Structure 1
Amino acid sequence: MRASLFFVRVALFWGIPLLLPGCIEPYMPAAISSPQSYLVVDGCINSQGVTTINLSRTYDIVTQTPPPVETKATVAIEQEDGPHYPVNESTTKGTYTSPNLTLNTAKNYRLFIRTGAGQEYASAYVPVKTTPPIDNVAWRATDAGLNIYVNTHDDTKASQYYRWEYEETWEIKPPYSPIVEYKNRQIQDITTFFPATCWGNNQSTAIQISNTTRLTQDVVSDFLICSYPTTSERLRSKYSILIKQHAQTQEEYQYWELLKKNTENIGTLFDPQPAQLTGNVRCLSNETELAMGFVGAHSLEKKRIFISRMDLPQKWLIQSGYESCVPPDTIFLTKPFPPPPPAVTLQSYFGNPNYLPIYPVYDQMGAIIGYTAQSRDCIDCRTRGTALRPSFWQ
């Protein structure tokens, strides 16, 4: 899970004093405008597979820009008193991946980082945890909508501390399939077709954790992963969710628990106050330089399910996401009728790459006198997803 935005918020709360009742002037702490940028390490060491690490930097929230990524770093997994394994930057800047590895569960490991600027960082050496398999991913339809749950257990009682993240994919079907296009100042049969189906994708951002330390058995039963209302457009055709399960050490779990409190339970006087977040990543070349993140070492378990529209209650009024696109506009070649939409001039109707023809309009003699049209977002589903069919899609 991308945790960079979480770290930004946590970092900004350092040094913020308690706000006293009756204060009427807003206070902008110096931390918000601080030029200092700290390394954020997001990821864990996968003991039985590919390790993925994302490196970024904290940033001023007032800039309202994506967090800057850390590129051209040298990253490696190091075994205590043993070999090291390279984790190389992928085609996605700031994302580093290892080969498919099988690590020794009897050894301790850490992550080593040397930035392009030459500063060196390392996480603490940690033991390897073995994540138990996911028993099943279940879903239930209620009057309010769809709930998705995960179930797991560990007969050895060695796990106890769990974290989940997920990746979801769904089909997108636009309402129109154009048969004409505007080219060379005229309407003609279409030569470049638009995809009939695209696939949307989303990765979880909420921190999902649970522990079984107060239970007699190491069993997680019906842990709620996510919910959707009965109108959710993601359920319109076919939906899939991939659950990823991590077994953590107590220290790693406490780190994520504090991060969850700092980022999700703040907003009223009755919420817990932000606490300083300390991970296990340290700067080796400068003790005063901060770093954020906790790098654990464990195997990763995954399970995917599919849910089709026909599996859900027929009475659900599931939206398509294209409600505002219907009906299309009618554009005449000689004059605009009806009048152009707001902020759209007559000239922008013709040949506008973001306002596309759909079907021709004929007069009584069969001559084309205009066309129906809509915005590209209503026609080209690639504005909302990808036309590349996922390899796992059924």
Structure 2
Amino acid sequence: MYTLAVLVRALSLCCLVLLPGCIEPYMPEAISSTQSYLVVNGFINSQGSTSINLSRTYDIAAKTPPPIETGATLALEEEGGTRYPLRESTIKGTYTSANLALNSGKQYHLLIRTADGKEYASDYVPVKTTPAIDNINWQASEADLAIYVNTHDDTNTTQYYRWQYEETWESRPVLAPNIEYLNGEIQPLRTFYPLVCWQSDKSTPILVSNTVALQQDVVSQFLLRSFPNTTNRLRHKYSILVRQHALTREEYQYWALLKKNTENIGTLFDPLPAQLTGNVHCLNDESALALGYVSAHSVQEKRLFISRNELPNWWPLQSGYEDCVPPDTVENFPPDLAQRFSSRLFLPVNTVFDPKNGLISGYTYTVLDCIDCRKRGTDVRPSFWQ
């Protein structure tokens, strides 16, 4: 999936630079094909619940999300031993197992049977034990903030690492209405709008590192995330949950190549995309390709909080609501505004009074997104929030 997208970008760029008179970009048959291949995303969790997401590749010109693969049958299988089923969860296309404690001395693989009868299997892989995260720390400079992770393995057997993270931060609207439009007239506010919500995001960069060239299996100050000193994520309170994965050499090579294919293409002088080969294969149809690498390992987690009062007080941190201030103002009450208020296309914020006579001269108004932080997140306080 990633390789196709990168190749199209490279070909389109070549067309634009080398052929100024080109009107229609050349699309190779393999790229313009509507053939849909299975995408397997996830790993076998040796100490907990395994979660596998199945989707399909899609046309690069498509404007819809990638199609999910529902109705499949999945199982983890121990080499020469037990099978453990995965059930499709309430999130369609996501399949989960019970909490398992797998034998670190055995090898495991994933079996998939799709609704159309195609059978897939990943290669058998050994179980790796992920060492604990030593710490997560941050450093603030004049212009930005950087978050780092540190870890080590005294046995010198891990050597290959990958990280993912989930971010959560407080979001507080800068506009608080005291009036609303109800039953055809402006009235005192009775509708509830939360004062604080929580927004969340998951990591998208591929974060991998190795210690092969080092005398000790130590990862020191690996950069996970950085922010400019204006980011709204740090305006109130921010948290990051880091997950650490131990990889085999083969899986590390897979992620490193995927990283190169997806992040380093952009100019004529970048390396051309390489063929990305995972470890999932179709057993009953050679033409049915599958993308993904399924490994088996445990996971280590650690969470970090950063509060505004820990950061330089002169940082110009933004609220995320800069486009909302100041709200629009209208004099009197034109009929079209009442229609917009009724449809909730716009919402009144405050009454404007004429300073000369103290009478109502108009209203300020804005869109719902500027008032209700639930449009950007949730007002349900996370269980881990401090």
TM-score band, normalised by the shorter chain? over 0.9
Please say if residues 3 and 273 of structure 2, whose CA atoms lie closer than 8 Å, have aligned partners that are also in contact: no
Please say if residues 231 and 317 of structure 2, whose CA atoms lie closer than 8 Å, have aligned partners that are also in contact: yes
Q: CA RMSD in A?
A: 2.3
2-structure distance, mates of 1:269, 1:328: 46
1:30-45 equivalences in 2 (<5 Å)? 30-45=29-44
1-structure distance, mates of 2:282, 2:310: 52
Q: Shift of residue 231 of structure 1?
A: 0.2
Q: Shift of residue 175 of structure 1?
A: 0.9
1-structure distance, mates of 2:146, 2:49: 30
In structure 2, the residue matched to 1:63 is 62
In structure 1, the residue matched to 2:275 is 276
Q: Deviations over 1:159-188 (max 9, x none)?
A: 000000111011000012222211110112
In structure 1, the residue matched to 2:348 is 357
159 and 280 in structure 1: CA distance in 2 versus 1, 3 angstrom threshold: same
Q: Provide the secondary structure at the position in 2 that maps to 1:61.
A: coil
Q: Deviations over 1:263-319 (max 9, x none)?
A: 111112332211111100001121221000000000000100000111111111001
> Is structure 2 residue 383 aligned with structure 1 residue 391?
yes
Q: Across the two proteins, how many residue pairs are aligned to each other?
A: 381
Amino acid in the other structure paired with 2:91: T
Q: Shift of residue 97 of structure 1?
A: 1.5
In structure 1, the residue matched to 2:307 is 308
| TM-score, length basis structure 1 | 0.91
1:121-140 equivalences in 2 (<5 Å)? 121-140=120-139
In structure 2, the residue matched to 1:184 is 183
2-structure distance, mates of 1:19, 1:57: 28
Please say if residues 121 and 281 of structure 1, whose CA atoms lie closer than 8 Å, have aligned partners that are also in contact: yes
Amino acid in the other structure paired with 1:350: F
> Is structure 2 residue 2 aligned with structure 1 residue 6?
yes
Structure 1, unmatched stretches of 5+, are 337-344
Structure 2, unmatched stretches of 5+, are none
2-structure distance, mates of 1:93, 1:387: 25
334 and 12 in structure 1: CA distance in 2 versus 1, 3 angstrom threshold: closer
2-structure distance, mates of 1:126, 1:250: 11
1-structure distance, mates of 2:343, 2:191: 15
204 and 7 in structure 1: CA distance in 2 versus 1, 3 angstrom threshold: farther
Amino acid in the other structure paired with 2:2: F
1:360-375 equivalences in 2 (<5 Å)? 360-361=351-352, 370-375=362-367
1-structure distance, mates of 2:275, 2:204: 21
Give percent identity, aligned residues only: 61
Please say if residues 14 and 268 of structure 2, whose CA atoms lie closer than 8 Å, have aligned partners that are also in contact: no
35 and 326 in structure 1: CA distance in 2 versus 1, 3 angstrom threshold: same
10 and 53 in structure 1: CA distance in 2 versus 1, 3 angstrom threshold: farther
In structure 2, the residue matched to 1:111 is 110
In structure 2, the residue matched to 1:262 is 261
| TM-score, length basis structure 2 | 0.93
355 and 18 in structure 1: CA distance in 2 versus 1, 3 angstrom threshold: closer
